[in-house]
């Protein structure tokens, strides 16, 4: 089985690339004529579910979700640990419709970026953090009012297993301003799908959805306190998951 793993990984990437290209072409033709929710289901959910399915079927990357009962009925701000590409696929398929905070450069990728533009992402310039904070606050509130979940990876980039990045307060500030909770998500996807390289290893990714966290007051101090609670819960839960592997 291990001897065949590199071949299976290569096959996975070939199929992933082919389906991404094909689905982007189809989406660019049909998606502009759909409502936002229908467009999201057609463009994102369908393909992201296929990506998760390919990873499971070909590479053996299964997953288990706990804490689904903690998901509020009304969309809110999702803060998630970021270790790999897998959780981007999974969370985009699991919550809908969803607007993700991402780096602006991704919108310029041929076909893929063009399709992403149709989905109301919050595309920020990481070289201008102050403007990025204002953009997340403004556009994030608009997306929430439109009934979309807002996904933020507060560390800003993928962080290798065993390491912790600095948590941005943008998600917590958005939640406080919108008077909505934060939904924290922890997982150990990086153990099986590392940040760097093409290597993968079969196993079961654990995804834990924590209790919704509400701010105890208003203003910057409330956002800082809420962000710290979310950071402590996410990092503590991830550490527990990694110790069990």
Secondary structure class of 205 (helix, strand, coil): strand
Q: Say if residues 202 and 245 touch (Cβ distance below 8 Å).
A: no
Boundaries of domain holding 208: 5-244
Confidence of residue 106 (pLDDT cuts 50, 70, 90): confident
Query: What percentage of the chain carries pLDDT values higher than 70?
Result: 99
pLDDT in tens, 163-207: 999 999 999 999 999 999 999 999 999 999 998 888 899 999 999
> Which residues make beta-bridge pairs with 98?
149
Average pLDDT over residues 202-229: 95
> Measured between alpha carbons, how far is residue 208 from residues 37, 154, 186, 236 in Å?
26, 17, 5, 12
Q: What does the pLDDT read at residue 133?
A: 85
Mean pLDDT computed over every residue of the chain: 92
What lies within 8 Å, CB to CB, of 155 at 6+ separation is 81, 82, 164, 165, 166, 167, 168
Give the dihedral of Cα atoms 84, 96, 56, 6; nearest 10 deg. Answer: -40
- Greatest C-alpha distance within the chain: 56
The count of structural domains within the chain is 1
The Cβ of residue 127 has, within 10 Å, a number of other Cβ atoms equal to 9
Closest CA to 103 of 77, 134, 129: 129
Q: Say if residues 71 and 209 touch (Cβ distance below 8 Å).
A: yes
pLDDT in tens, 67-91: 999 999 999 999 999 999 999 999 9
Residue position matching structure tokens 């070909």: 58
Distance CA 29, CA 175 (A): 35
Average pLDDT over residues 114-129: 82
Distance CA 149, CA 143 (A): 7
Q: Say if residues 182 and 175 touch (Cβ distance below 8 Å).
A: yes
Average pLDDT over residues 19-38: 90
The Cβ of residue 118 has, within 10 Å, a number of other Cβ atoms equal to 18
**What CATH number did the domain enclosing 116 receive?**
3.40.1130
Distance CA 119, CA 211 (A): 27
């Amino acid at each position: 089985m291990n001897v065949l793993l590199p071949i299976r990984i290569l096959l996975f990437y070939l199929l992933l690339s082919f389906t991404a290209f094909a689905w982007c072409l189809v989406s660019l033709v049909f998606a502009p004529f759909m409502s936002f929710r229908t467009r999201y289901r057609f463009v994102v959910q369908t393909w992201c579910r296929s990506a998760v399915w390919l990873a499971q079927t070909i590479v053996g990357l299964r997953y288990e979700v706990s804490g689904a009962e903690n998901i509020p009925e009304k969309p809110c701000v999702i803060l998630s640990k970021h270790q790999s590409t897998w959780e981007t696929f999974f969370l985009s398929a699991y919550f809908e419709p969803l607007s993700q905070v991402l780096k602006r450069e991704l919108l310029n990728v041929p076909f893929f970026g063009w399709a992403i533009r149709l989905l109301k992402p919050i595309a920020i310039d990481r070289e201008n953090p102050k403007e990025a904070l204002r953009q997340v606050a403004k556009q994030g509130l608009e997306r929430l009012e439109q009934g979309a979940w807002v996904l933020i990876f507060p560390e800003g980039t993928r962080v290798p297993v065993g390491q912790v990045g600095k948590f941005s307060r943008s998600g917590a500030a958005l939640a406080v301003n919108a008077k909505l909770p934060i939904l924290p998500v922890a997982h150990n996807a990086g153990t099986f799908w590392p940040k760097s390289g093409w290597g993968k290893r079969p196993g079961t990714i654990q995804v834990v959805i924590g209790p919704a966290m509400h701010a105890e007051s208003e203003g910057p101090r409330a956002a800082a306190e809420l962000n710290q609670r979310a950071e402590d819960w996410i990092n503590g839960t991830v550490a527990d998951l990694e110790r069990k592997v």
